[in-house]
């Protein structure tokens, strides 16, 4: 119905349509030479002849009327299309939902009939010709099928990748968006270069109705006849079969006219909405990465097929349209419509193309090099200045990247678009980056430093993509880390440029990237950072934290062992050589090796890095003192896994087969001093190395500042020396290494490499720790241990131990004052974050004063209706208040969630609702989460995950997940990250035999989709159950003993 309604409002017909209709009219109603032409000529004025002429005219008129009626009926019955559509009726099976083409438009009987020949004879001859053509076509296809079978090949349309015989050079795309009924129509003209002769044009198209297809040789009159065309849904392609082969090194034009829906989902060309002054307003926006451009226009939807694009968008004048390039001209029509014609893009991949139709307003700034930067958002958000922070740092960051990479930003403008609904934090479309509102809009009066940091890093990430991704694009999805790893690494480098005192790359990178991804990569079900991708269904699984965070960690390791200045020089060369093109990992390795050679160093980067990118997992280095020989240590490497009983992903490749070339930095220390670091390249399973100045009381420290992607274990004697050093004078060891020791110890113990007491003894020094990073590392390391224990009967013993470690620092720091009148960016970011971390630990583990303070602040807000809660601890106070207080507080927070328009506040209010101890309220919230009018689609996942993290709601969320899986999978199954994030979040803290059985039974019942995520979930829960069985009692015994001293 929607498509029919849309067609009633279509723009005027195109010139091509006029020409085709004229041809049909001339064919069916024109007067060919012959008897009828003679009958119309002058005759001698005799009565008899006049009568004869009149009779013949009347008869001719009657026959003409009958012929016209016959033609009309045939046209209606056959749904006449352009002749070029071809006879599609004989094609392979098609998906009706994709709008398969009907039969070719046919010439009506008698049209073009030679003089004097009976109509029946013409029809018989035409039928005979048609039959001969069909027979010839059938024979040709049989021969081709036999040839494919002989070569053991699939037909071109059934292969996982597009055939390589054609290359798109340019797309001319004209769109009409009908926002009143959420449909759009399009006409795409693709200029094709022929590399190998073929009569098949295979390109991607999905969930659209194709009305017409035409193929013509460029710059020459006449077309190439289309024999038929059809969809092949299994590979999401549309196939155009020609009746002759396209010639090599010739250029052709493919024209397709189509229409489709502006979907109410999160991918392709989709719609979103917001409320302004009580009125709901709609917008349309695109999300094409990785394989969804094909839902918006027929295209060669693979990264290697870079082309130029010329976009035109027709829309109602009450809207504006945006695309990758600036508007060149706008043509206004009398009926209230306008067509925006955009400038031509540079060479780019289809998944970076973008457009939007909205009624937003904007603010703008200009960089030193003249790039116009605009931020588009809801008019009320622009009016409040919520986009000003993002706009200002974007200008500065473009200037930073241009200077760092020595490659100018390539387009004349960059638009930042803040939308209410989007599947991801943001998408780096070239020249039109799209952000979900929560990750770009910031109200300084109610936003915390943590929120500001989130917004900052998302923007830094997306801007890096304008070089790594947009300008230089990975050849294929197996190397998606080449863009995502770099963008994730530069989140920290770029933020350091904006805020030099924050030390993001040297410190926060460890807890937020390195430690986090090692949790995932320590599973036997992990995968290499570069992994084989055969077909579209495989692409989703490469977009995970392995690609992003492990990719970033490997890049950081590479930059450190190369030296940052040489690494920067290599990146400049890489971008210059490959700009506007595609590159693979070996292109990067070769360029970086050449950069090293230029400074006199000879390292085969490919030989080193292939071991890190083509193997899954990471090593644990074990350093042991040699008791028989002075100053000699034994260094060994093995693959680190949390569950040694877990079956390896590839049974043929056991853990003993893994080997890395490891740049191990090492230093020797004592009570007052640490030596300068030395680098040892560890290439074998076990090696002996002489370490000078290794005395009786000296300790060893490996992986200095945690620049390497591996864990380090020591003999118990060395661990004891390190623990004593931390207690006596922790500042001898760097902040980064203090954080690294905490994270390594907790995870080595969890995996069974260390006794359970070692990590708890290490954090015994924290009462003297004044730096944020070690506290943050301890908080993150304690979190999974807390979730393993929070439903056990002896949990209070663990709880008490942690409170003892926190109490001293909590009393020293106290609570922050209300800073509503201060600058958002505090003078001491590190101090503010330390303050927040300690309060969070104190409230989470039940410090009575912390609970009282939170309850007092919430009560004051309710009674005065003035929120005086300090910005940086609002989320902690909201959560604690909801957990401790009655249902009225939950209802108050629920009301505030609905009434606030500030996106940062909305986010933490929603998360606070998941903290309740009341299971009825948690169930109510879970059920409301699937109502898109109440909770945005992208936020529903966070609600379910946060309920699962609550020990009072873990079983509720797990049950809800299983009952609603079909709905959740339908909503999020195609969106990168979303399903894997949901599956991991709901299952990661299940830890009983019964829950493990439930998980396995559920997977058996719903085998379709998300297989890799479910495999990781099973391994995680198995490791949790194993830890409970093997190590829980050991931990509690030590805790009891420790608390009695």
Using alpha carbons only, give the angle 880, 886, 888 rounded to the nearest 5 degrees: 105
Please give the structure tokens belonging to residue 977. 């990250």
The beta strands (E) that lie in 584-677 are given as 619-625, 632-639, 662-669
Cα gap 10→8, rounded to integer Å: 6
Residue 200's contacts (CB-CB under 8 Å, 6 or more residues apart) are 156, 157, 163, 239, 240, 241, 242
DSSP state of 468: B
Please give the structure tokens belonging to residue 856. 């007092």
Please give the structure tokens belonging to residue 545. 């934290």
Cα gap 311→328, rounded to integer Å: 10
Residue from 914, 851, 908 nearest 885 by CA: 851
Chain Cα centroid distance, residue 999: 27
User: Which of helix, strand or coil describes residue 177?
Assistant: strand
* DSSP per residue, 777-833: HHHHHHHHHHHHHTTSTTHHHHHHHHHHHHHHHHHHH--PPP-TTS-SS-S-HHHHH
Residue with tokens 């939007």: 356
Work out the widest C-alpha separation in the chain, in whole angstroms.
138
Q: Residue 127: in which H helix or E strand, if any?
A: helix 119-150
205, 237 contact by CB (below 8 A) = yes
Residue 375's contacts (CB-CB under 8 Å, 6 or more residues apart) are 362, 363, 364, 382, 387, 390, 391, 394, 415, 416, 418, 440
The region that residue 423 occupies, defined by phi over 0 for left and psi between -120 and 50 for alpha, beta otherwise, is alpha
Alpha-carbon Rg for the chain, nearest whole angstrom, is 34
Q: Could you confirm whether 279 is annotated as catalytic?
A: no
- The torsion angles phi and psi of 317, rounded to 5 degrees, stand at -65, -15
Residue from 350, 351, 325, 339 nearest 171 by CA: 350
Residue 131: count other Cβ atoms within 10 Å of its Cβ: 10
Residue 902: count other Cβ atoms within 10 Å of its Cβ: 18
505, 457 contact by CB (below 8 A) = no
User: Which of helix, strand or coil describes residue 878?
Assistant: helix
User: Which of helix, strand or coil describes residue 875?
Assistant: helix
Cα gap 22→16, rounded to integer Å: 10
Cα gap 413→112, rounded to integer Å: 55
944, 981 contact by CB (below 8 A) = no
Choice among 84, 193, 462, 491 that is catalytic: 462
Residue 955's contacts (CB-CB under 8 Å, 6 or more residues apart) are none
Q: In the beta sheet, which residues pair with residue 355?
A: 323
User: Which of helix, strand or coil describes residue 890?
Assistant: helix
DSSP state of 975: S
Please give the structure tokens belonging to residue 424. 């991801």
Which residues participate in catalysis according to the annotation?
462
């Amino acid at each position: 119905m929607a498509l029919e309604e849309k067609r009633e409002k279509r723009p005027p017909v195109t010139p091509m349509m006029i020409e085709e209709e004229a041809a049909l009219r001339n064919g069916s109603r024109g007067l060919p030479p012959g008897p009828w032409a003679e009958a119309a000529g002058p005759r001698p004025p005799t009565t008899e002849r006049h009568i004869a002429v009149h009779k013949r005219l009347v008869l001719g008129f009657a026959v003409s009327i009958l012929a016209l009626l016959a033609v009309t009926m045939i046209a209606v019955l056959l749904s006449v299309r352009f002749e070029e559509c071809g006879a599609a009726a004989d094609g392979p099976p098609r998906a009706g939902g994709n709008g398969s083409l009907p039969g070719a438009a046919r010439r009506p009987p008698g049209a073009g009939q030679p003089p004097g020949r009976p109509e029946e004879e013409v029809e018989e001859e035409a039928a005979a010709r048609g039959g001969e053509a069909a027979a010839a076509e059938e024979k040709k296809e049989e021969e081709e099928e036999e040839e494919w079978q002989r070569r053991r090949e699939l037909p071109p349309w059934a292969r996982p990748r597009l055939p390589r015989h054609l290359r798109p050079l340019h797309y001319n795309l004209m769109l009409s968006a009908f926002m009143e009924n959420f449909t759009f129509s399009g006409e795409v003209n693709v200029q094709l270069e022929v590399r190998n002769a073929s009569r098949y044009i295979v390109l991607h198209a999905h969930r659209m109705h194709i009305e017409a297809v035409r193929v013509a040789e460029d710059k020459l009159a006449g077309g190439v006849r289309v024999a038929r065309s059809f969809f092949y849904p299994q590979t999401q392609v549309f196939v155009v079969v020609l009746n002759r082969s396209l010639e090599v090194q010739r250029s052709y034009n493919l024209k397709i006219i189509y229409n489709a829906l502006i979907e109410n989902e999160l991918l392709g060309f989709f719609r979103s909405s917001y409320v302004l002054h009580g009125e709901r307003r709609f917008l349309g926006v695109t999300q094409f990465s990785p394989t969804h451009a094909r839902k918006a226009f027929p295209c060669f939807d693979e990264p290697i097929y870079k082309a130029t694009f010329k976009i035109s968008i027709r829309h109602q004048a009450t809207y504006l349209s945006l695309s990758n390039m600036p508007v060149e001209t706008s043509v206004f029509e009398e009926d209230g419509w306008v067509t925006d014609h955009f400038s031509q893009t540079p060479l780019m991949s289809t998944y970076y193309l973008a457009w939007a139709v909205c009624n937003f307003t904007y603010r703008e700034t200009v960089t030193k090099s003249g790039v116009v930067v605009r931020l588009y958002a809801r008019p009320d958000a622009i009016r409040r200045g919520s986009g000003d922070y993002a706009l200002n740092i974007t200008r500065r960051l473009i200037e930073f990247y241009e200077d760092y990479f020595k490659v100018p930003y390539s387009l004349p403008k960059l638009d930042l678009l803040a939308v209410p609904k989007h599947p991801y934090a943001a998408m780096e479309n070239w020249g039109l980056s799209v952000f979900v509102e929560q990750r770009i809009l910031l109200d300084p009066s109610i936003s915390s430093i943590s929120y500001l940091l989130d917004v900052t890093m998302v923007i830094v990430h997306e801007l890096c993509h304008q070089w790594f991704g947009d300008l230089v694009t990975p050849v294929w999805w197996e190397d998606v880390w080449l863009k995502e790893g770099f963008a994730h690494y530069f989140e920290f480098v770029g933020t350091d440029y904006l805020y030099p005192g924050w030390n993001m790359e040297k410190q926060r990178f460890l807890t937020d990237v390195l430690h986090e991804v090692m949790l995932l990569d320590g599973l036997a079900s992990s995968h290499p950072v570069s992994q084989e991708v055969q077909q579209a269904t495989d692409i989703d699984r490469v977009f995970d934290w392995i690609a992003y965070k492990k990719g970033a960690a490997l890049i950081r390791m590479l930059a450190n062992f190369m030296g940052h200045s040489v690494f920067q020089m290599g990146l400049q060369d890489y971008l210059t050589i490959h700009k506007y093109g595609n590159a693979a990992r070996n292109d990067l390795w070769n360029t970086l090796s050449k950069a090293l050679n230029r400074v006199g160093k000879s390292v085969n980067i490919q030989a080193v890095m292939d071991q890190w990118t083509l193997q899954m997992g990471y090593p644990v280095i074990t350093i042991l003192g040699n008791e028989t020989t002075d100053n000699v240590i034994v260094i060994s490497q093995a693959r680190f896994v949390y569950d040694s009983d877990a079956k390896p992903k590839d049974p043929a490749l056991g853990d003993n087969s893994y080997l890395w070339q490891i740049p191990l930095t090492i230093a020797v220390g004592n009570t007052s001093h640490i030596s300068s670091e030395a680098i040892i390249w560890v290439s074998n399973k076990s090696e002996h190395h002489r370490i000078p100045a290794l005395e009786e009381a000296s300790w060893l420290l490996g992986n200095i500042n945690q620049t390497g992607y591996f864990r380090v274990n020591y003999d118990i004697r060395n661990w004891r020396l390190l623990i004593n050093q931390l207690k006596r004078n922790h500042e001898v060891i760097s902040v980064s290494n203090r954080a690294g020791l905490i994270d390594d110890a907790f995870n080595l113990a969890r995996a069974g490499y260390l006794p359970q007491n070692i990590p708890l003894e290490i954090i015994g020094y924290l009462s003297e720790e004044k730096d944020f990073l070690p506290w943050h590392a301890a908080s993150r390391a304690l979190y999974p241990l807390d979730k393993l224990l929070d439903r056990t009967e002896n949990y209070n013993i663990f709880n008490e131990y942690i409170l003892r470690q926190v109490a001293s620092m909590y009393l020293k720091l106290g609570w922050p004052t209300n800073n509503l009148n201060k600058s958002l960016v505090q003078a001491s970011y590190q101090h503010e974050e330390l303050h927040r971390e300690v309060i969070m630990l104190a409230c989470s583990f039940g410090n009575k004063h912390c609970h009282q303070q939170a309850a007092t602040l919430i009560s004051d807000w309710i009674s005065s209706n003035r929120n005086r809660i300090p910005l940086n601890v609002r989320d902690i106070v909201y959560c604690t208040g909801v957990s401790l207080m009655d249902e009225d507080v939950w209802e108050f927070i629920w009301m505030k969630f609905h009434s606030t328009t500030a996106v940062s506040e909305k986010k933490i209010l929603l998360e606070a609702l998941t903290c309740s101890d009341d299971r009825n309220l948690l169930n109510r919230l879970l059920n409301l989460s699937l109502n898109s009018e109440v909770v945005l689609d992208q936020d529903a996942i966070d609600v379910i995950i946060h309920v699962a993290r609550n020990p009072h709601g873990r079983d509720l969320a797990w049950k809800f997940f299983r009952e609603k899986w079909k709905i959740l999978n339908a909503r999020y199954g195609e969106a990168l990250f979303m399903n894997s994030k949901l599956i991991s979040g709901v299952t990661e803290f299940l830890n009983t035999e019964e829950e493990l059985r439930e998980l396995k039974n559920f997977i058996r019942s719903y085998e379709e989709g998300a297989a890799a995520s479910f495999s990781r979930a099973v391994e995680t829960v198995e490791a949790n159950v194993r830890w409970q069985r093997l190590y829980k009692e050991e931990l509690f015994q030590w805790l009891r003993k420790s608390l009695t001293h």
